[in-house]
Amino acid sequence: MKYSFRNDYNQVGHPRIIQTLLDHANCVNVGYGEDIVTKELENMVSNLVDGDVKIYLLVGGTLANKLVLSKILAPYEAVIACETGHINVHETGAVEQTGHKILTVKKENGKLSSKDIHEVMNIHNEVHRVLPRVVYISNSTEVGTIYKKEELMDLYHTCKQYGLYLFLDGARLPIALTSSANDLNLKDIYNYTDVFYISGTKNGMPLGEMVVVKNELINSNFLYHLKNQGGMVSKTFTLSYMFKEYLKDDFYLELARNANKMAEYLKEELIKLNVNIKYLNDTNQIFVELNNDIIDTLSKEYDFEVWESNSNSTVIRLVTCFNTTLDGCNMLIEDLKKLLN
Amino acid sequence: MKYSFRNDYNQVGHPRIIQTLLDHANCVNVGYGEDIVTKELENMVSNLVDGDVKIYLLVGGTLANKLVLSKILAPYEAVIACETGHINVHETGAVEQTGHKILTVKKENGKLSSKDIHEVMNIHNEVHRVLPRVVYISNSTEVGTIYKKEELMDLYHTCKQYGLYLFLDGARLPIALTSSANDLNLKDIYNYTDVFYISGTKNGMPLGEMVVVKNELINSNFLYHLKNQGGMVSKTFTLSYMFKEYLKDDFYLELARNANKMAEYLKEELIKLNVNIKYLNDTNQIFVELNNDIIDTLSKEYDFEVWESNSNSTVIRLVTCFNTTLDGCNMLIEDLKKLLN
Amino acid sequence: MKYSFRNDYNQVGHPRIIQTLLDHANCVNVGYGEDIVTKELENMVSNLVDGDVKIYLLVGGTLANKLVLSKILAPYEAVIACETGHINVHETGAVEQTGHKILTVKKENGKLSSKDIHEVMNIHNEVHRVLPRVVYISNSTEVGTIYKKEELMDLYHTCKQYGLYLFLDGARLPIALTSSANDLNLKDIYNYTDVFYISGTKNGMPLGEMVVVKNELINSNFLYHLKNQGGMVSKTFTLSYMFKEYLKDDFYLELARNANKMAEYLKEELIKLNVNIKYLNDTNQIFVELNNDIIDTLSKEYDFEVWESNSNSTVIRLVTCFNTTLDGCNMLIEDLKKLLN
Amino acid sequence: MKYSFRNDYNQVGHPRIIQTLLDHANCVNVGYGEDIVTKELENMVSNLVDGDVKIYLLVGGTLANKLVLSKILAPYEAVIACETGHINVHETGAVEQTGHKILTVKKENGKLSSKDIHEVMNIHNEVHRVLPRVVYISNSTEVGTIYKKEELMDLYHTCKQYGLYLFLDGARLPIALTSSANDLNLKDIYNYTDVFYISGTKNGMPLGEMVVVKNELINSNFLYHLKNQGGMVSKTFTLSYMFKEYLKDDFYLELARNANKMAEYLKEELIKLNVNIKYLNDTNQIFVELNNDIIDTLSKEYDFEVWESNSNSTVIRLVTCFNTTLDGCNMLIEDLKKLLN
């Protein structure tokens, strides 16, 4: 089997998470998230953010995105997002399927700023154009960058000024929060958004996403909406057992920290080899440009995604994750060293 | 903790299923169902039905229903279902949310017949009425009844005569197939429907549903549709590992057989006690009418759903499942015996 | 050409209405309903109902129904209607297309009562069922009956008790208001509903419907919704000119009164002929049962709809309208007299 | 009253069109487009394009766009359009409301080319991205440009190569076909698209759009779709009477020719005055840049839209239409002459 740098969702999951499911195999709970385990998890999250949240557990980031957005938006309302946003590019029109336009902003760094919001709002001021109501951001972003605390606060305050909701896609939130460049914590995420989600899938859980809602209007009848959209998990408690273990003693941050550490190590070593790193960022996605024949050889031993194909060179993406090992990284570096000589 | 007869989806899952997940914790696979494990599962199902199927794994019966129906139906087309059908009553309008009307037929036994189809088709013959395109049935049904082979064949042939697709909701298909009154097997289900699903959730898996598609038109671009509707599971292989174990050596039937056996035992013992059993059926749902004071006492030790409340008596529903035990049943019978004296 | 009793929307329109369009052919106005003519019409309606309304002009009763309902309903919310309701039977799933379930009540007389609302609300009290939010009624109804003032008031108060909106489909509202059995006026309609519409199409206008909204929440951003749903008419003022003429000096009631008068005359004469009248009602739809051979002969000279076909007899529907004449009615009666002898 | 250069849909309509409605005021026809007048119109169009078409009459360009697109597209399919496309900018998300993404291409001239299609198709080749199925173009475009015959043929053939449908928004098709730079006729439009519509609203009819469908798959069950989407006009024949007059002896082209002639005259005169004309094009939209104080004075006597506001200058849009007169144009030129001195 090839060593995988393909993605952060190619492993079944961390054994500790699955073990907790096995430990509770015969436990009996009421369905649909009205059980005590889910309530305990909700309290856990409220404590973590020092607030009062409602949580909704479901399976799939695309489902989380379309559910949250369609909960907020009236038929004629729209969401503002970066052109690179996952909802805009890689969800096969899932948001539009709920009836809503995505207003996109072209940003190299994958991050929205207050200035972007002002510009969109200035244009959208008449009944023949959609009415923006939500701002969608990802952290870390689709290009691996992260929001700084000041940026998030600024964006949130601008949203409030326009009556916009701020929704943070947390498919890689644990990665963002454990990046060496990060200055945000979970409490900040809670304070400076209206709703966000934390992915389990991309950080060591077999599956599962947790939507965290602060805003009362979004919470209102959310369970009806969850069921109506097909997102309600009858045995929600199976996800709750796993998420409790995931959050316990910041295990989810520990898992993400490994991904970031391994990425940093790889970047350092790649720089030593004078390899061209593109879209340099502070998280677990490394974009490396190499000659095509080197890529050919590497691909026999390692699994990764091809990002851009050119006539002579190719940009590949190396993703580290919760169970990437130093040995794995060193193996790659050693093999690369030989190929580059 | 009370002994539970509440439902067949209140336990986390059978340890054997979860153990297989643990055994493969560190396995690496490509995402989105394009992996080898899912392919192996697909082959397994093809062999079981002696045909050539495509399978799609997702989480949630409501999601399965709305996904399959919206894949088939044009905006002005409709689905025919029993008034008691799950999609009509208990899915918070999930099918209508995809834009489609449910044409309902009132049936005491929860089963559609050819005659029903003829009647609906006779009325719906002009542009001011929706155009029926799918027939939705459940087996076992929402009231615990099951389809006989002759009934299913007849219904299927009538569907073909009108150009209708036949979709079978298999939330309790393993239960149906292991009822003592059943004369259908999985191959029949494949032969006499266009698409069906087998639930894992209601029969010992922590979560997961498997949609099985025979019809080529339904298969066309199904993965696009799955993603668009928010149903695609990025780590599909986690479900595949579990479903392989579930289907292996007919383990899923073994699990369901226990539920049916326990239900039969309970029914026999209840009849000996001269208790009034309503909606008598051949599967794992038992509806018992008892005096209110007896219900009050029972509810302190046992978990169950109240079905109908009257001034003196109450109808409760007892559901047996894959891990209901003879001891559990005997305990209930003994306690009831004392209360009835 | 046959004399037509087919429907009330088979004539192009009353010349007086079309003449007003011709008189203003070269008038210039701003588009999208922001013009002065539409404003004048809105004031006219406010005066008529002694209130403060917003009006929205569009083309088509089905469009009016789907627009109003989808403006009010959240994705998981539903509308309560009679089984015979136009939205349920004859709009090819237009309401469901906007994502909403219609909860139907079986009523012989086509009218909803408070009792019906209580019953529906009692059942729909959990997240697995849709959440009712609107009550839809028609006046006159699809079977020709009309609401009495007391009935409408009672229904409205019950709606308010449950937080439900009351929407009145006024495809035949002028007919209802000029029935000899009617005790409602336009002011009552305004006072005891949240939103209603008055059809021009079915009462002498070439086309056009006017939605009248009292409720502020429904009004909020209605123009965005109108555009989003494809219902905004760029030259709204063309409809406004016609509606002003239609409402002027109660011309719309005068037109409808003719339809009712002719219907009453026809009914009286038919009764004298001992003809069987079914679904007897107080408006312009007359359902007559006649021998099949008589129907055959009649259909050569008169245009009407066949309602029910039996082996010996047929029920036909005779509809009178704004330009049905006494001569036309007498001709029919005379011909029928001969055929019955 | 100010002289209007605001738009081509601010007049009620040409008297000849309205007179025909008056002439047929008492005519009786069956509803829903199944009448003989509509059939005659359909034959007229078939003759004009030397083909075999189906036509569907409705009210509103936005409705026409959303209806046609949602008829063709499966939930996960998308439409390709220019960023400036009407469906993308000025329809308040009407297309997205039907569940579909618009894939936009940035083009200065508002026209799509084969090259654009190739580029979009190259990227959209996997299940995580929407599947393009329709190409949407406008002629004349939103910036006043027109397609040349060679361009349209090339685009159509590219569409066929990819299995894409080509849909032409004809809100200003008569204007395009009578531009002095045009080399297309209605037959070409029919031959090199799958479906298009001709607007009445923007060229002298009080309201009404005619969708012309060549493709059999699009035609299939179109009336069901029309009703379902709320677009069916019960008295379709009222539109048919007007459209027959509109098409008779190419009256619709005569009306449009006046708009183009007046625009050409205005452009010539403006150029003589050395005024800056932006986005110069061959149809009836003229974008003129003038000093702000001149604009202020002009706006007291003339009605027009402000396109861009800068600190010193403003770009206004002057639109000519079917009833713009030489006197009106001369008046504007004379007034402008004085202001520029």
- Measure in Å the smallest separation between the Cα of D184 and chain A Cα atoms: 31
Question: Which chain D residues contact residue C92 at CB under 8 A?
Answer: 224, 227-228
Residue B248 confidence class, pLDDT cut points 50, 70, 90: very high
In chain A, ranges of CATH 3.40.640.10 domains: 15-251
Taking CB atoms and an 8 Å limit, are B227 and D76 in contact across chains?
yes
Neighbours of chain B (3+ CB pairs under 8 A): A, C, D
Mean pLDDT across B172-195: 98
Residues C253-262: what's their mean pLDDT? 98
Name subunits touching C (3+ CB pairs < 8 A).
Answer: A, B, D
Angle made by CA atoms A28, A33, A35, in degrees to the nearest 5: 40
Instruction: Using an 8 Å CB-CB cutoff, list chain B residues near A13.
Output: 21, 25, 235, 238
pLDDT tens-digit series, residues C52-64: 999 999 999 999 9
The per-residue pLDDT for range B34-65, each reduced to its tens digit, is 999 999 999 999 999 999 999 999 999 999 99
Q: Give the pLDDT band (50/70/90) at residue C2.
A: confident
A231 to chain B nearest CA, in Å?
7
What is the b/e burial string over C85-106, where b = at least 16 CB atoms within 10 angstroms of the residue's CB? bbbbbbbbbbbbbbbbbbbbbe
Are D109 and D143 a contacting pair, CB within 8 Å? Answer: yes
Query: What is the pLDDT, as a whole number, of residue C310?
Result: 85
Kindly tell me if the per-residue pLDDT of C152 is higher than 90.
yes
Please state, in angstroms and as integers, the Cα–Cα distance from residue A5 to each residue in A284, A299, A304, B21, C148, following that order: 10, 11, 5, 22, 73
- What single-letter DSSP state applies at residue B321? -
B117 min Cα distance to partner chain C (Å):
17
Count interface pairs A-D at CB distance under 8 A: 57
pLDDT band at residue C122, thresholds of 50, 70 and 90? very high
Q: How far apart are CA B159 and CA B106, in angstroms?
A: 19
Q: Which residues of C touch A224 (CB under 8 A)?
A: 74, 76, 127, 130-131
Give the distance from residue A120's alpha carbon to the nearest chain D alpha carbon, in angstroms. 13
Q: Which two tokens stand for residue C238?
A: 């063309």
A 10 A CB-CB count for D125 gives 8
Nearest CA-CA distance, residue D124 and chain B, Å: 12
Token digits for C132? 């009712």
C184 phi/psi in degrees, rounded to 5? -105, 150
Specify whether the CB–CB gap between B226 and B67 falls below 8 A: yes
Range list for CATH 3.90.1150.10 in chain C: 3-9+255-340
pLDDT mean over B122-140 = 97
Place of tokens 């029969």: B203
What pLDDT, on a 0 to 100 scale, did the predictor assign at position D279?
86
Residues whose CB is less than 8 angstroms from the CB of residue D219 and which lie 6 or more positions away in sequence, other chains included:
D54, D213
What pLDDT is recorded for position D123? Answer: 93
Mean pLDDT on A159-164:
98
| Two tokens, residue C156 | 């409205």
Going C244 to C246 to C251 to C256, the CA torsion angle's sign is negative
**Mutual orientation of helices B36-49 and B236-247 as an angle, nearest 10°?**
40
Contacts of A90 in chain D (CB under 8 A): 128-129
Nearest chain A residue to C223 by CA distance is A127
Asked if CATH classification 3.40.50.720 holds for the domain at D15-251, the reply, yes or no, is: no
- Interface residue ranges in chain D relative to chain B, Cβ cutoff 8 Å: 32, 70, 74-76, 98-99, 127-128, 130-131, 221, 223-229, 232
Q: How far apart are CA A92 and CA D125, in angstroms?
A: 11
Please list the alpha-helical segments (H only) found in chain C: 15-23, 36-49, 61-72, 86-89, 94-97, 114-123, 149-162, 173-177, 186-191, 216-219, 222-228, 236-247, 251-272, 292-298, 326-340
CB of A247 closer than 8 Å to CB of A41: yes
DSSP-based helix, strand, coil % in chain D, nearest 5: 45, 20, 35
Of B205, B224, B246, B276, nearest to B56 by C-alpha is B224
Does an H or E element contain A44, and which? helix A36-49
Residue of A nearest to D75 (CA): A97
B-chain residues near A61 (CB < 8 A): 234
Beta bridge partners of C28: D11
Residue with the two structure tokens 């970031």 = A260
Chain D nearest C-alpha distance from B134 (Å): 16
**Chain D nearest-CA residue for C6:** D30
Tell whether ipTM is more than 0.90. Answer: yes
- Given an 8 Å threshold on Cβ–Cβ distance, is C99 in contact with B100? no
Q: What is the pLDDT of residue D1?
A: 76
Question: In whole angstroms, how large is the CA radius of gyration of chain D?
Answer: 21
Residue C270: closest CA among C175, C323, C340, C176: C340
Angle between helix D236-247 and D15-23 (nearest 10) = 130
Asked whether the beta carbons of residue C232 and residue D60 sit closer than 8 angstroms, the reply is yes
Q: Which helix (H) or strand (E) holds A186?
A: helix A186-191
CB A287 within 8 A of CB A267: no
Contact call for residues B252 and B174 (beta carbons, < 8 A)? yes
Chain A positions with Cβ closer than 8 Å to C: 32, 70, 74-76, 99, 127-128, 130-131, 221, 223-229, 232
Q: How far apart are CA A337 and CA B181, in angstroms?
A: 69
Contacts of C234 in chain D (CB under 8 A): 9, 60-61, 201, 207
In this structure, what token pair is assigned to residue D63?
Answer: 């409705």
Q: State the pLDDT confidence band at B275, using cuts at 50, 70 and 90.
A: very high
Given the structure tokens 């005379």, which residue do they identify? Answer: C334
* Residue A84 near residue A143 (C-beta atoms within 8 A): yes
First to last CA, chain C: 26
SS3 breakdown of chain C: % helix, strand, coil, rounded to 5?
A: 45, 20, 35
SS3 content of chain A, % helix, strand, coil (to 5): 45, 20, 35
Minimal CA separation from C153 to chain D, in Å: 30
Show residues of chain A in contact with D127, CB under 8 Å.
Answer: 92
Mapping DSSP to helix (H, G, I), strand (E, B) and coil, where does residue C33 land? Answer: coil
Q: Which pair of tokens denotes residue D118?
A: 């190739």
Which chain A residue has the Cα nearest residue C228? A76
Helix (H) or strand (E) holding B222: helix B222-228
A341 vs C320, higher pLDDT: C320
DSSP string, B4-67: E-S-SS-B---HHHHHHHHHTTT-B--STT-SHHHHHHHHHHHHHHTS--EEEEES-HHHHHHH
Which chain D positions have a beta carbon within 8 Å of C239's beta carbon? 207
Phi-psi region of B13 (alpha: psi -120 to 50; beta: other; left: phi over 0): left
> Which of D75, D225, D227 is opposite residue B128, by nearest beta carbon?
D227
Does A12 contact B235 at a Cβ distance shorter than 8 Å? yes
Give the number of residues written for chain A: 341
Cα R_g (chain A), whole angstroms: 21
Query: Which of A7, A12, A31 is opposite residue B21, by nearest beta carbon?
Result: A12
Q: Which residues of A fall within a CB distance of 8 Å from D101?
A: 93, 96, 102
Instruction: Output the tens digit of pLDDT for each of chain D's 341 residues.
Output: 789 999 999 999 999 999 999 999 999 999 999 999 999 999 999 999 999 999 999 999 999 999 999 999 999 999 999 999 999 999 999 999 999 999 999 999 999 999 999 999 999 999 999 999 999 999 999 999 999 999 999 999 999 999 999 999 999 999 999 999 999 999 999 999 999 999 999 999 999 999 999 999 999 999 999 999 999 999 999 999 999 999 999 999 999 999 999 999 999 999 999 999 998 899 999 999 999 999 999 999 999 999 888 888 999 999 999 999 999 999 999 999 999 98
Query: Residue type for D330, please?
Result: N
Please give the residue of chain D at the shortest CA–CA distance from C11: D28
Residue B2's pLDDT band (cuts 50, 70, 90): confident
Long-range contacts of A47-51 (CB under 8 A, 24+ apart): A48/A186, A48/A187, A48/A247, A49/A186, A49/A187, A49/A189, A49/A190, A49/A191, A49/A212, A50/A187, A50/A190, A51/A187, A51/A190, A51/A191, A51/A214
State how far the Cα of B178 lies from the Cα of B189, in Å rounded to an integer. 13
CA D185/CA A333 separation, integer angstroms:
65
With CA atoms as reference, the chain A residue closest to C73 would be: A74
User: Dihedral through CA C323, CA C326, CA C330, CA C336, nearest 10?
Assistant: 40
Per-residue pLDDT tens for A253-312?
999 999 999 999 999 999 999 999 998 899 999 999 999 999 999 999 999 999 888 888
Q: CA nearest A8: which of A136, A175, A245?
A: A175
Distance from CA of B95 to the nearest CA of C (A): 8
Burial C58-81 (b: 16+ CB within 10 A, else e): bbbbbbbbbbbbbbbbbbbbbbbb
Both structure tokens of B253: 């039937």
The answer to whether B130 contacts D228, with C-beta atoms less than 8 Å apart, is yes
Please, are residues A225 and C76 in contact by the beta-carbon 8 Å criterion? yes
* D91 interaction partners in chain A (CB closer than 8 Å): 128
Angle at D77 between CA D72 and CA D78, to 5 degrees: 90
How sure is the predictor about B152, in pLDDT bands with cuts at 50, 70 and 90?
A: very high
In the prediction, which pLDDT does C246 show? 98
How many residues can be counted in chain B?
A: 341
* Pick from B95, B93, B103: nearest CA to B70: B95
**Subunits adjacent to chain A (3 or more Cβ pairs under 8 Å):** B, C, D
* Crossing angle of helices B251-272 and B326-340, rounded to 10°: 20
- Give dist(CA D266, CA D326) in Å, integer: 9
Find the radius of gyration of the CA atoms of chain B.
21
- As given in the structure block, the two tokens for residue D275 are 């005024």
Report the CATH fold assignment for B3-9+255-340.
Answer: Aspartate Aminotransferase, domain 1 (3.90.1150)
Edge-to-edge strands, sheet with A195-199: A54-58, A209-213, A195-199, A165-169, A131-138, A77-82, A102-105
